[in-house]
């Protein structure tokens, strides 16, 4: 993915491009006025969705067609490169094991152990090198690219985690416009999780507004490191809300909500306005129904989203919709707030 996506050789000369000595290309495609160039860009495929609305599954591939097109355009000529290079670096995505496997070309017969064991030495080693290589480009080789990066979607591997995780956490401080951070890590054993908890407690990332994290205890440190996060997405199940920590600025909560008995959102996220409830195991219908009743503890609540995660869930979605509507109507009236229930179909995403 990364090695194919990023035109590395040219990046080395990236800083020189601004002080070019030759005339820019002024004929043909490159002579188009900026308005037309932006019109062309508007037809690009959208950025990869972050957070993923599917359950945590790094074995799925991500959609790289947008970056592939931008990479081709950037390599077309100097004018295009100058105009479009920031689109190429606005998101760094290194989280899909399916993508990684495509790039583990040193061993074409690679039998990936990730799906069986939840860990694969070869792929995680590749990921580790890619993470370092791409962060090196935007922080050391061409530091002016650092301001382009808005989205980071990363699987932090077990390989060399004592080096990779601290370096990753440090590099995040060098990205002034990072708005969205999606982290995955190996949830088998707790080696990476422990390192994450240790390392992230030393940093503050003031600009991050959307945070997608596994629902593990280690993720809480990451959440605390991002004091201005408005939207929290749990990519997997099980994070404990118990404890003294409160996140009063969080307004939106999506993904897999924690166990029912750990759901203390009225204490930890009292100002939630938007909560997603999924029609999927482990949130099967009765549990989801109970979850909706618990939302009565959130006086600021404006939107309940019923997320359809499996095609056969239409019937239970209807029941949940009724329950959510009834709950919202019972909340105390607040002037200027109109409450609603959204039903979103995520079954077609893959």
Sites of contact with Zn ion (CB under 5 A):
112, 120, 122-123
The nearest distance, CB 55 to Zn ion, in angstroms, is 20
Closest CA to 280 of 298, 302, 254, 262: 254
**Min. distance of Cβ 213 from Zn ion in angstroms?**
23
Looking at beta carbons only, is 85 or 95 nearer to Zn ion?
Answer: 95
Which is closer to Zn ion, CB of 120 or CB of 250?
A: 120
List alpha helices for 42-120, DSSP H: 65-74, 78-88, 97-103, 114-117
Burial 9-22 (b: 16+ CB within 10 A, else e): eebeebeeeeeeee
Q: Report in angstroms how near the CB of residue 185 gets to Zn ion at its nearest.
A: 16
Which residue lies nearer to Zn ion by CB, 38 or 121?
A: 121
**Rounded to whole angstroms, how far apart are CA atoms 327 and 322?**
9
Complex with Zn ion: residue 114 or 237, whichever CB lies closer = 114
Burial 194-225 (b: 16+ CB within 10 A, else e): ebbbebbeebebeebbbbbbbbbebbbbbbbb
The smaller minimum CB distance to Zn ion, of residues 100 and 172, is found at 100
CB atoms within 10 A of CB 326: 12
H-only helix segments in the chain: 2-5, 8-12, 14-17, 34-41, 65-74, 78-88, 97-103, 114-117, 121-136, 161-172, 191-200, 219-225, 265-268, 285-294, 314-330
Residue closer to Zn ion (CB basis): 83 or 103: 103
Tokens 């949830």 belong to 187
Nearer to Zn ion, 80 or 114 (CB): 114
Minimum CB–partner distance for residue 123 and Zn ion (Å): 3
CA distance 226 to 221: 9
């Amino acid at each position: 993915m990364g090695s194919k996506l990023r035109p590395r050789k040219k990046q080395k000369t990236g800083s020189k491009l601004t002080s070019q000595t030759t005339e820019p290309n002024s004929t043909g495609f490159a002579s188009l006025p900026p308005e037309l160039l932006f019109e062309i860009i508007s037809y690009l495929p959208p950025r990869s969705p972050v957070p993923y609305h599917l359950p945590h599954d790094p074995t799925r591939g991500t959609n790289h067609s947008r970056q592939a097109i931008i990479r081709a355009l950037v390599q077309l000529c100097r004018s295009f490169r100058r105009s479009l290079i920031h689109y190429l670096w606005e998101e760094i995505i290194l989280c899909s094991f399916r993508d990684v496997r495509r790039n583990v070309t040193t061993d074409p017969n690679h039998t990936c152990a990730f799906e069986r064991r939840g860990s694969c030495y070869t792929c995680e080693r590749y990921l580790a090198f890619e993470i370092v290589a791409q962060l090196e480009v935007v922080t050391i080789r061409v530091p002016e690219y650092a301001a382009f990066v808005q989205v980071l979607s990363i699987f932090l591997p077990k390989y060399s985690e004592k080096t990779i995780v601290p370096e990753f956490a440090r590099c995040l401080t060098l990205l002034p416009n990072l708005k969205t951070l999606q982290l995955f890590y190996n949830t088998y054993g707790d080696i990476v999780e422990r390192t994450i908890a240790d390392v992230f407690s030393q940093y503050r990332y003031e600009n991050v507004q959307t945070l997608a994290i596994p629902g593990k205890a280690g993720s809480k440190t990451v959440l605390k490191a991002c004091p201005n996060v408005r939207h929290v997405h749990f990519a997997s199940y099980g994070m404990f809300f118990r404890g003294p920590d409160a996140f009063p600025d969080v307004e939106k909560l999506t993904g897999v909500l924690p166990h029912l008995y750990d759901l203390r959102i009225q204490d930890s996220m009292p100002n939630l306005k938007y909560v997603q409830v999924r029609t999927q195991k482990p949130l099967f219908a009765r549990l989801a129904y109970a979850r909706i009743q618990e939302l009565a503890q959130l006086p600021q609540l404006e939107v309940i989203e019923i997320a359809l995660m499996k095609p056969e869930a239409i019937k239970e979605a209807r029941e949940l919709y009724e329950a959510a509507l009834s709950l919202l109507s019972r909340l105390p009236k607040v002037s200027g707030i109109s409450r609603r229930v959204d039903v979103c179909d995520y079954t077609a995403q893959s």
